[in-house]
Amino acid sequence: MQGIEQLRAAMRGAALLPGDAGYDAGREIFNGMIDRRPAVIAQCSGVADVMRSLEFAVTRSLPLSVRCGGHSLPGYGVCDGGVMIDLEKMNHVYVDPVTRTARAQGGANWGQFDHETQAFGLATTGGLVRSTGIGGLTLAGGHGFLMRRYGLACDNLVSADVLTASGRMVKASATENSELFWALRGGGGNFGIVTSFHYQLHQVGPVLGGVLLIPFAEAHAQLKFYDSFSVSAPDELGVVAALATLPDGTKAVVHLACYCGPLDQGEEVLRPIRTRCAPIADQIQPMPYTAVQSIVEHFNPRGMRNYWKMVYVNELTDDAIATLTEHYAKVPAPLTHIVVYSLGGRVAAVPDSDTAVSYRRSRHAVIGIGMWEDPADDAKVTAWVREFAAKMQPFASAGFYPNYEANADAGALVSAFGEEKYQRLVAVKRQYDPNNVFRLNQNIVP
Ligand SMILES: Cc1cc2nc3c(=O)[nH]c(=O)nc-3n(C[C@H](O)[C@H](O)[C@H](O)COP(=O)(O)OP(=O)(O)OC[C@H]3O[C@@H](n4cnc5c(N)ncnc54)[C@H](O)[C@@H]3O)c2cc1C
């Protein structure tokens, strides 16, 4: 490839071409359905490498993708025939226990982040699976167990160092480039490459957390109970309800909980949901925050084929629950599940206009998680997920959270933000990326 030797000489990290050792492993991402072949994979070791690879792509008018944790469901981290700017090796996290803040490089994941912050007994809201990148998750909002107490991941962002499409490094914060800072908190990777995220941390752990398994025969009553329980619980409780299939093939309601306040109070708070009916298993117990953060990955193995859709729902009415349970009864693949992720607390308390994130006051995010192994099942499982989303529409309260969406065209994306916020995002996009260099994302078209 023309210019590749100059790029290699200019980088500390590797620039891999098809056929090079590590190329195939380098283009793999979480979703096993995605099989794209970049012209070059730039494995960046630092900001200088990111600058050089962006310049290489832009001067040659090559498509480019930016990869952090590689968890994007549509596979936005990897491109065909262009430059894959891979930040995965930029994963240092520096904690300042005095100011209770952390600076994390733009390629870190939540496992790395929690590992460093928990050494000081600190944490901030992050995703439920360790290998999910801080980049994609924070830039679109960021749900996690701590959100009802401390807000979304993006609500804890103090500032970000951003490499813009023109090759300029800028800082975005409440006082510098504040409109960019507003857009970065919800608008995704549209505005530049964030090389460093600066987060506010909080004292967290040990927590009362773990898994509670309820028989599927109880699903209707359990979800009905969960609807009001999850919303009226103190903000210290992060909780989800899933309809899932256990390893022995039986279906169940699976709750995951994380209470981040005093443990004895947590016992009282969680007692009603643990005692409503006889559980299949109750593994809720005191544990380090890092332990609760390493449970979900057992249900989400890497490399599976993935197709997800979500709806926001304000109330799990009898009809909504019947729709969920009847649809789940016909699930076509054992790893495929439905998750009800409950919001409220600090997520809803942050004023809507503060960030680009929309629909903060939604009570539940209900996600159809299609996950399966055999490509022969693609049509069957994707149809089941689409049917889930269609059947839930009558109960939907608002648009959607872009990070759980398998695909969304520009028209649909407007509904993820609402017309007013979308137009404000377009204005920021025109200022920082008028030629849409960063378009492999839930794209705001300039
Ligand atoms: C198993 C699994 C569990 C999940 N759990 C949660 C959860 O608990 N909470 C939640 O809110 N979401 C969750 N998600 C959704 C997740 O937030 C999105 O998939 C998100 O895009 C993943 O971010 P990433 O950095 O890993 O992805 P990538 O594929 O690396 O990137 C996703 C997008 O963000 C952009 N991007 C990433 N880093 C940067 C950066 N530094 N600068 C500029 N742009 C960047 C990329 O260009 C791309 O467009 C989960 C997804 C999976 C697959």
Q: What is the pLDDT of residues 423-437, one digit of tens each?
A: 999 999 999 999 999
pLDDT in tens, 364-394: 999 999 999 999 999 999 999 999 999 999 9
Q: CB of 162 within 8 A of CB of 191?
A: yes
338 Cα: distance to centroid of ligand 1 (angstroms): 19
53 lines ligand 1 (CB under 6 A): no
Domain coordinates in residue numbering, the chain: 4-86, 93-203+423-432, 207-404
E runs forming strands in 50-192 = 64-67, 83-86, 93-96, 101-105, 122-123, 157-163, 169-173
**Whole-number mean pLDDT of the chain?**
96
Mean pLDDT over residues 405-426, rounded? 86
Q: Which of 67, 68, 367 to mutate to test the pocket of ligand 1 (most atoms within 8 A of CB)?
A: 68
pLDDT score recorded for residue 313? 96
Q: Is the pLDDT of residue 411 over 90?
A: no
The pair of three-digit structure tokens given for residue 83, joined into one six-digit string: 């430059």
Task: Categorize the per-residue pLDDT at 134 as very low, low, confident or very high, splitting at 50, 70 and 90.
Answer: very high
Spatial distance between the Cα atoms of 352 and 311, rounded to a whole number of angstroms? 19
- Rounded-to-integer distance, Cα 48 and Cα 120, Å: 30
Verdict on whether the full-model pTM lies above 0.85: yes
225 CA distance to ligand 1 middle (Å): 31
**Whole-number pLDDT of residue 231:** 86
Question: What is the CA 364 to chain-centroid distance, rounded?
Answer: 16
Asked whether residue 11 carries a pLDDT value surpassing 90, the answer given is yes
Q: Please tell me the predicted confidence (pLDDT) of residue 299.
A: 86
Radius of gyration of the chain (CA): 21
Determine the Cα–Cα distance for residues 65 and 52; give it in Å rounded to an integer.
Answer: 14
Residues 6+ apart with CB under 8 A from 218: 253, 277
272-283 average pLDDT score = 98
> 207-404: same fold as 4-86?
no
Q: Which of 54, 72, 366, 433 to mutate to test the pocket of ligand 1 (most atoms within 8 A of CB)?
A: 72
Q: How confident is the model at residue 399 (pLDDT cuts 50, 70, 90)?
A: confident
* Residue-wise pLDDT tens digits, 220-264: 999 999 999 998 999 999 999 999 999 999 999 999 999 999 999
In this prediction, residue 1 has a pLDDT band, given cuts at 50, 70 and 90, of: confident
Q: Which atom of ligand 1 is nearest to the CA of 441?
A: 49
Q: Which atom of ligand 1 is nearest to the CA of 128?
A: 8
Instruction: Give me the mean pLDDT over the 149-163 stretch.
Output: 98
Q: Cα 307 from chain centroid?
A: 14
Collapsed DSSP state (helix, strand, coil) of residue 34 = coil
* Number of alpha helices (DSSP H) and beta strands (DSSP E) in the chain: 15, 19
Does residue 201 line the site of ligand 1, with CB under 6 A?
A: no
Residue 320 is predicted with a pLDDT of 98
Confidence of residue 277 (pLDDT cuts 50, 70, 90): very high
Task: Give the closest residue (by CA) to ligand 1 atom 1.
Answer: 300
Distance CA 425, CA 445 (A): 9
- Percentage of the chain modeled with pLDDT above 90: 95
Q: Return the pLDDT at 407.
A: 75
Q: Looking at residue 193, what DSSP letter applies?
A: E
pLDDT attached to residue 408: 66
Q: For residues 281 and 313, what is the distance between their CA atoms, to the nearest angstrom?
A: 28
User: What's the full length of the chain, in residues?
Assistant: 446
Taking the centre of ligand 1 as the mean of its atom positions, its distance from the CA of residue 138, in whole angstroms, is 8
Are 345 and 269 in contact, with CB atoms under 8 Å apart? no
Token reading at 214: 């309820």
74-111 residue pLDDT tens: 999 999 999 999 999 999 999 999 999 999 999 999 99
With a 6 A CB cut-off, is 403 part of the ligand 1 pocket?
yes
pLDDT score recorded for residue 136: 98
Res. 268 pLDDT band, cuts 50 70 90? very high
Sheet of strand 64-67, all strands in order from the earlier edge strand to the far edge: 14-16, 40-43, 83-86, 64-67
User: Is 385 within 8 Å of 211 (Cβ atoms)?
Assistant: no
Name the one residue in this structure whose structure tokens are 């629909």. 359
Q: What is the CATH number of domain 207-404?
A: 3.40.462.20
- For residues 203-218, average pLDDT: 98
CATH of the domain spanning 4-86: 3.30.43.10
Per-residue pLDDT tens over the stretch 46-75: 999 999 999 999 999 999 999 999 999 999
Instruction: Look at residue 410 and tell me whether its pLDDT is greater than 60.
Output: no
Task: State whether the beta carbon of 135 lies less than 6 angstroms from ligand 1.
Answer: yes
* CA 183, 184, 190, 193 torsion-angle sign: positive
Tell me the CA–centroid distance for residue 216 and ligand 1, in Å. Answer: 31
Q: How far apart are CA 333 and CA 352, in angstroms?
A: 38
All residues at 6 or more sequence positions from 6 whose CB lies less than 8 Å from its CB, including other chains: none
Spatial separation of the C-alpha atoms in residues 429 and 446, rounded to whole Å: 6
Cβ contact 153:144 at 8 Å:
yes
Lowest mean pLDDT among 267-276, 398-407, 433-442: 398-407
Architecture of domain 93-203+423-432: 2-Layer Sandwich (3.30)
